[in-house]
Structure 1
Amino acid sequence: MIAIADSGSTKTEWCLVEKIGQIHSRCFTPGMNPYFQSEEQMTAMIQQVLYPQWTGLVIDAVYFYGAGCAFPEKNVLVEKAIHSCWSVPVEVNSDLMAAAHALCGTDTGIACILGTGSNSCLYDGKEVKEQISPLGFILGDEGSGAVLGKLLIGDCLKRQLPASLCQEFMETYQLTPASILEHVYKKPFPNRYLASFVPFLKEHLDVESVFQLVYRSFDAFIRRNVMQYTGHDRYPVHFVGSVAFYFQSVLRQVLEKYELTPGKIEKAPMDGLILYYNKVRK
């Protein structure tokens, strides 16, 4: 039996999978991000929250994918935390590799993430061949929840959206210009704060100015990221993430504009990861 983990900064989904590909169980724990957490903090979480749920189970290997797991020196911290409970092979990869494995499997394709942040790569079925740096929500992250929220707030405060819509937005979330600036510039995790407004965009997607806001951000993601990959017009373009999933009607229009081949559009990578390991471990 193997364990697969898909981790963000706020939560981790763990899935135990039998060798024949059947799911034994799923559970959730707080997120593990070695960029923000120490080895001691992650070890405590594993020992106190995850291990009690899996006591007595025989686990042969752990495949961990997570935000902040793009550097070997950080990945070692995750390995050590897991090894504190299970002396088994542990493989740690980035959330981008999770997208590649879940969406492309063993085929060549372009794998994209559109969630709170955004990312992408050209994957050849075995490894990432090219990657355009996402640069974060200040310099990049086009199409992400954080950027969509940033654009929504900016357009409201600069009177670029209908006045009635701006008023509804501010009242719905009980916002003031001062509270917005406080959260964005002085409080931690402004990207999460900005992304929290995405449901408002989804609810008002029938408003032309809202539709255009989302469309332009997706257009920028495709133009500044996907179109930069060698052979982008030859391979399917896949997406994972809540923003891609809930706004896929807009996303498909942008892909059509650039004559790109749409691939899978999934809300989360776990089901694709299970299929991937079922295939590669046969």
Structure 2
Amino acid sequence: MTILIADSGSTKTDWLYTDAEGNSQVIQTKGINPFFRLSDDIYQELKSELFPKVSEVDEVFFYGAGIINTERGNVVKEALSPLYPNAKIEANSDVLAAARALFKHSTGIACILGTGSNACLYNGETVEFGIPPLGFILGDECSGAVLGRKLLGDYFKNVMPEELRKRFAEKYNVSQAGVLEKVYRTERPNKYLAGFAPFLSENISEIYCETLVRKSIIEFLERNVLQIPEARNYRLGFSGSIAWNFKPIIEKAAIEYGFSAPFIIQKPIEHLNDYHTNSKK
């Protein structure tokens, strides 16, 4: 049995192919978000970037941002089906990927902190209760996009401390006009905004940066996790680049809010391979 697993965000897609002997190969392509892209567009991209490396497979498990319902999942399935016509193909949300990677067949609250953010109650098989992320304008608390948005706002409004403003200007050389163009008039502004989040981890010893991250994770906990009924009765887990880079701050905030120390992973992909492999035994 050969298995192809994808963990896709708005920025990039990690693919893990495992052959019948258990040998694995990791492939990376651009982000595939069916909320913004069409099946033919995705198909053409994967035909050139993925198919030459993996031409035959028995099962495909695709997990991605933007798969909020069956309709969006079908956008991805219709792109993959011509490439792998004999394969069983599933398309599920990225939050289900995080849940399966974090908790396998146990219950828990699974959270994503990457380019976007999300949280759900997982019952060991499916997502039982979810909080709508709403994107970086209305929600996505503590996501890379929102952290980047806050940084840029503080930079241009002179809220950021002067020494950090100098570092920020040297690193990114941004102009107000250029940022407004990128955010309001080009595609994938969330990806653009998330590109500024590394500045926080690089300068996390500065009080301004640590405070911005701490307040953001508190916003995430209060506006997402604690909206889940009886949230403190469940184990808490996080996945994603933001979660991984700010692990100590997240652990401290979670404990302060009455949770045990959360389980935090950077990427779900290898844990998903274990989940799907062991599910067949």
Q: How does the TM-score come out when normalised to structure 1?
A: 0.93
Identity of aligned residues (%): 41
CA distance in 1, matches of 2:67, 2:191: 19
Contact 1:19–1:278, Cα closer than 8 Å, also in 2: no
**1:111 positional shift:** 0.3
- Residue 29 to residue 184, structure 1, CA distance change in 2 (3 Å): closer
Paired AA for residue 81 in structure 1: A
- Structure 1 segments of 4+ aligned residues over 3 angstroms from their partners: none
CA distance in 2, matches of 1:264, 1:60: 32
**1:157 positional shift:** 2.3
How big is the alpha-carbon RMSD for the aligned residues of Structure 1 and Structure 2?
A: 1.7
- Residue 98 to residue 53, structure 1, CA distance change in 2 (3 Å): same
- Superposed CA offset, 1:224-266 (max 9, x none): 1111112211211111110000011111111121021233211
- Residue 148 to residue 275, structure 1, CA distance change in 2 (3 Å): same
SS in structure 2 of the partner of residue 15 of structure 1: strand
Contact 2:10–2:191, Cα closer than 8 Å, also in 1: no
The aligned counterpart of 2:192 is: 193
**1:33 positional shift:** 2.6
Contact 2:108–2:237, Cα closer than 8 Å, also in 1: yes
CA distance in 2, matches of 1:268, 1:200: 21
**1:167 positional shift:** 2.2
Gaps of 5+ in 1: none
Contact 1:143–1:214, Cα closer than 8 Å, also in 2: yes
Asked if residue 73 in structure 1 is aligned to residue 74 in structure 2, the reply is no
The aligned counterpart of 1:224 is: 223
- Residue 236 to residue 53, structure 1, CA distance change in 2 (3 Å): same
The aligned counterpart of 1:83 is: 81
The aligned counterpart of 1:5 is: 6
Gaps of 5+ in 2: none
2:61 maps to which of 60, 63, 82: 63
Q: How does the TM-score come out when normalised to structure 2?
A: 0.93
**1:18 positional shift:** 4.3
**1:19 positional shift:** 5.8
SS in structure 2 of the partner of residue 63 of structure 1: strand
The aligned counterpart of 2:40 is: 40
Which runs of structure 2 are paired with 1:98-177 in the superposition (5 Å)? 98-177=97-176
- Superposed CA offset, 1:171-211 (max 9, x none): 22112233222322223222122211111111111111221
**1:29 positional shift:** 2.6
Contact 2:17–2:54, Cα closer than 8 Å, also in 1: no
CA distance in 2, matches of 1:203, 1:24: 33
Alignment length (residue pairs)? 279
SS in structure 1 of the partner of residue 51 of structure 2: helix
CA distance in 1, matches of 2:177, 2:36: 28
- Superposed CA offset, 1:80-125 (max 9, x none): 2222122121111011111111111100000000011100100010
- Residue 18 to residue 231, structure 1, CA distance change in 2 (3 Å): farther
Contact 1:170–1:176, Cα closer than 8 Å, also in 2: no
CA distance in 1, matches of 2:33, 2:139: 21
Contact 2:32–2:42, Cα closer than 8 Å, also in 1: yes
